[in-house]
Structure 1
Amino acid sequence: MSVELNYQDTGGEGTPLFVIHGLMGSADNWRSHVKQWQAHHRVVAVDLRNHGRSPHAEGMSYGEMAQDLLALMDRLAVERAHLLGHSMGGKVVISAARFTPERVASLIVADIAPQAYGHGHDAVFAGLRRVEAGSPTNRREADEMLAEHVDERATRLFLATNLVRGDDGVLRWRIGLDQIERDYDSIMQAPAGEGAYEGPTLVLRGGRSHYVPDEALPTLRNVLPNAQVVTLEQAGHWLHAEQPDAFQTAVNDFLASLAS
């Protein structure tokens, strides 16, 4: 059963651009980009299940998350859209494109390949649980607790975007941490669906990221045969945050090429 996702819709004419975050992200992470894109596109930024302001629910498979996205398109009466997804969100949009290619005007996949990955978030989960148990009342305390397990300050700042203050003054995670951790294996799997999506596709990868190495390109092209692969050399995995101008330019140029 699909989850009724939270979303932010700029309104506007034309084929909308749906923006899908990665693991532990939210629509809020894309605000600066949405402000730029909305000058030329209707933009719908989405919170996936167990993220942002969307409901918590069991199951984090790509089939389930893609169906959530397609149900949101139905709810908004959107027949066809450009789909942009980062990391986990990239696998969600690939899955949606495999299920209903006729509803996807184009795909933009940011720093993920359509394959399974090994587990790599043990320290993050430990840090999140430490904060949960520690009941911090300010962000400095929360950061100190996270730092016991997560060394990178940029990662801690990203995770801290999920903290909300309760009526008792305690900061708590708004993500569905239990549900995410229980079905983490599904998040590490390849996208759902079968076959190739043959529509126009842009794959953006970070030159300092290990998520889409050259060895992954044959698999990527089996699933996304018409993909243009663009490398942002100075970016890591969070390429839209690390190289925002270059990311914007690549997306804008791609979408403009479809309109010409």
Structure 2
Amino acid sequence: MTDVATVDLHFIDMPADEAAADTPPLVVIHGLLGSADNWRSHLKVWQGSRRVIALDLRNHGRSPHAEGMRYATMADDVIALLDKLSIERAHVLGHSMGGKVAISLARLAPERVASLIVADIAPVAYEHGHDDVFAALDNVREGQPKSRREADDLLGEHVESRPTRLFLATNLVRNDDNVMAIRVGLDQIKRGYSDIIGVPDGEQPFEGPALVLRGGDSHYVADDMIPALREVLPRARVVTLKNAGHWLHADQPEAFQQAVTAFLDAQ
């Protein structure tokens, strides 16, 4: 779909219970600065009814760093992984940026998507909103902390929210120099940020079954965005999780898991 070379994505592959072996698998795509590791507790729940695969997008987690953060490019990476695993069709769940990857995949290659679950993102362009986060990660990179406490102090110079700092800290790994280093391709992400906050790729609506989960305390899927959502996902059911923000799967994990399970079981 693009002329950018695909990368070999890192992934977690959890086989289904034997009784569910013939059910299409569920592919989980994390959001900006997230990783497959963030979803392990959810994967264990869904594994009871189907094979579950969570991946690290390019420049995230354990996947390679590479230029190009267009949604068509990232969708190509996911398709390459599906081909590698000999998966013809899958249910696809994406959160935030991962939701836009999932929407792009569903629009560009609908034959590969059995159903679509989009978590707290709309197919619209957003304003810049991560300058403080990027500055915090740059601060860690330059400060070369020797401990997670030192890293948290460096993050705290730009990010006041402790939950956000804890989330960002999932991207820290101790390197050979005994320094807490960031594992994301931060420079590539920053260079591709205008694509990340833009609209998903694809021209046609996805006519398959879709579920959109939004946090009741989040602004990412506001009511005035629903018409644009319906244009892209005409069959989407929109469900609001109360007392949940943008990280709704962390704020209301059981409600999130149950909503996903009920939707998948109905397919």
Fold equivalence (TM over 0.5): yes
**TM-score, length-scaled by structure 1:** 0.98
Aligned pairs for 1:11-90 (under 5 A) are 11-12=15-16, 13=21, 14-90=23-99
Q: Using the TM superposition, give the Cα deviation of residue 234 of structure 1 relative to its aligned residue in structure 2, in angstroms.
A: 0.5
Q: Is residue 2:13 matched to residue 1:9?
A: yes
Shift of 1:52: 0.5
What's the CA shift string for 1:203-242, capped at 9, x where partnerless?
Answer: 0000100100000000000000000100001000000011
Q: What stretches of structure 1 move > 6 A for 4+ residues in a row?
A: none
SS of residue paired to 2:266: helix
Cα displacement (A) at 1:168:
1.4
| Structure 2 stretches lacking a partner, 5+ long | none
| Aligned twin of 1:254 | 263
Unmatched 5+ stretches in structure 1: none
Aligned partner (choices 121, 125, 131) of residue 116 of structure 1: 125
Matches of 2:264 and 2:163 in 1, distance apart? 30
- Rounded to whole Å, the distance in 1 between the matches of 2:246 and 2:169 is 18
Q: Normalised by the size of structure 2, how large is the TM-score?
A: 0.96
- Residues 33-80 of structure 1: CA deviation (Å, up to 9, x unaligned): 001111111000000000000000001010100000011101100000
Query: How big is the shift at 1:11?
Result: 2.0
Aligned-partner Cα distance in 1 for 2:260–2:137:
33
* Mapping of residues 1-260 of structure 1, within 5 Å: 1-12=5-16, 13=21, 14-258=23-267
- C-alpha deviations, 1:137-191, integer Å up to 9, x for none? 1111101110110011100000000000011110000000110011111101100
**Root-mean-square deviation (Å):** 0.6
User: Aligned pair count?
Assistant: 258
Separation of aligned partners in 1, 2:111 and 2:168:
35
1:125 alignment partner AA: F
